[in-house]
Amino acid sequence: MQPTQFTHVKGDRTGFTLIELLVVISIIAVLAAILFPVFARAREKARQSTCTSNQRQIAASIQMYAQDHEESLPDIATVWGDIKVDVGILVCPTAGKSTPNGYVYHKDAGGMALGAIKDPTSVMLTADGVRSQDTSHYANVAYATSDILLRHSNKTIIAYVDGHVATTANPPAFTPPYSDSLAAWFNASSLTVANGAKIDCWTDGIAAIKATQSNTSYQPTLLSSACGNGHPAVRFTGTSAGSATAYNALTFSGLSLANWSVLLVYRSKETSNLLYYPMTWDTSGSPGGIYAGGTFLSQAFGLAIGATSKNATGTVALNTWSLGLVIKSGTTYTRMLDANFPVSDTGTDLPISNTVTFGLRGTDTAWPFIGDLAEVLIYNRALTGPETNDVITYMKSDCGL
């Protein structure tokens, strides 16, 4: 029997066609597009676990240091040398080995007595971040929220005084720089009323000074989410310029400061008067901007934000969050808007006095403060140039500017 013979028939396929290859490549590309993010997330999860473990060990080392040092946390100047952890523990795997220390120590924790901490579950010890050392800052110490990095899928890992570690997209707020010189700190974040509710009392976070308004017609309201990062604000509204009831007001007294620095984050909503005074010292008895004791001078006495000369009004941007800073040293006043340095005027000494009310309001009945106020810092001395940079950085970070 003859074996079957197979003959090659012209046209038989010996490989894939171009179209088939393109289809296979497309399928592989689609699968890769689906799987690569999954692999990346899994890899980042592993890195987060390592970072969490690192910070848990750092927190334990800080706690052991406190036990050996009269129940006090390490100082910010020496913390990283004091805790003596292995150098590998300081490397955040997401930041990589090019960053020898990928963590920052909370400045407010430095030197604190454990017994003075009311809620150790809410006080931050360390977090993801990097801070370089300079003339006024220690390395790897967080002085403001901006020093904390959201490097883990837009979140940061934080270790707390009680030793627990958590991942969050909202790092805790910081106290302002040079808090030992703060006379008052009004932060809208401290208000607990509902969105849109009237405010009859705003208590500062330093000396518990109460800014009050008993007349419900003159009470401002709360905006629960106003600034870029959701920071709340107090809204001062008005009916019409020139009206005696065209303002809301909160006033307080009890400060006696020969020299001072006042920094505020505000947003002007004034539409009828563009030449307007969001921050003017006024002791005439009419509703003043932010005003204090002394001899009454022109309402625009050299302190209006945005002004370029003494007794001149200042033009401010509408519906825009801005920073205002006025520093008094002797009879010299330095004004700053955002980081524009500076314009100085010399005039009659105008201290903050116990004899009159220091208010948060418009300038007078014809020029009401119609706008929003997120935060106010009042220092009991004139800040230096480098210090003003620090407080500006803090305010921008805290209010999301």
pLDDT values of the chain reduced to their tens digit, one per residue, 401 residues: 555 555 555 555 567 788 888 888 888 888 877 777 766 677 878 889 999 999 999 999 999 999 999 999 999 999 999 998 999 999 999 998 899 999 999 988 888 899 888 888 888 999 999 888 877 688 999 887 778 899 998 899 999 999 999 998 878 777 888 888 998 899 998 898 999 999 999 998 888 888 888 888 778 899 988 887 788 999 887 544 444 444 566 777 777 777 888 888 878 765 443 333 333 333 333 333 333 322 222 333 333 333 344 334 444 566 788 787 777 787 676 766 543 333 333 444 444 544 334 455 444 444 445 678 899 898 999 998 888 888 888 888 788 78
315 Cβ contact partners less than 8 Å away, ≥ 6 residues apart: 274, 275, 306
Quickly count: other Cβ atoms within 10 Å of residue 285's Cβ: 11
CA distances from 294 to 284, 346, 376 (A): 10, 15, 21
**Look-up: residue for tokens 């028939």?**
9
> Any idea where the domains of the chain sit in the sequence?
30-168, 179-399
Q: Round to whole Å and give the CA distance between 355 and 359.
A: 13
- Write down the pTM of the prediction: 0.62
CATH of the domain spanning 179-399 = 2.60.120.200
Q: Which residue has the tokens 């490097």?
A: 151
> Which residue stretches of 69-192 are H helix?
79-82
Cα 194 from Cα 197, distance rounded (Å) = 5
Half-sphere exposure of 401 (CA within 13 A, CB side): 20
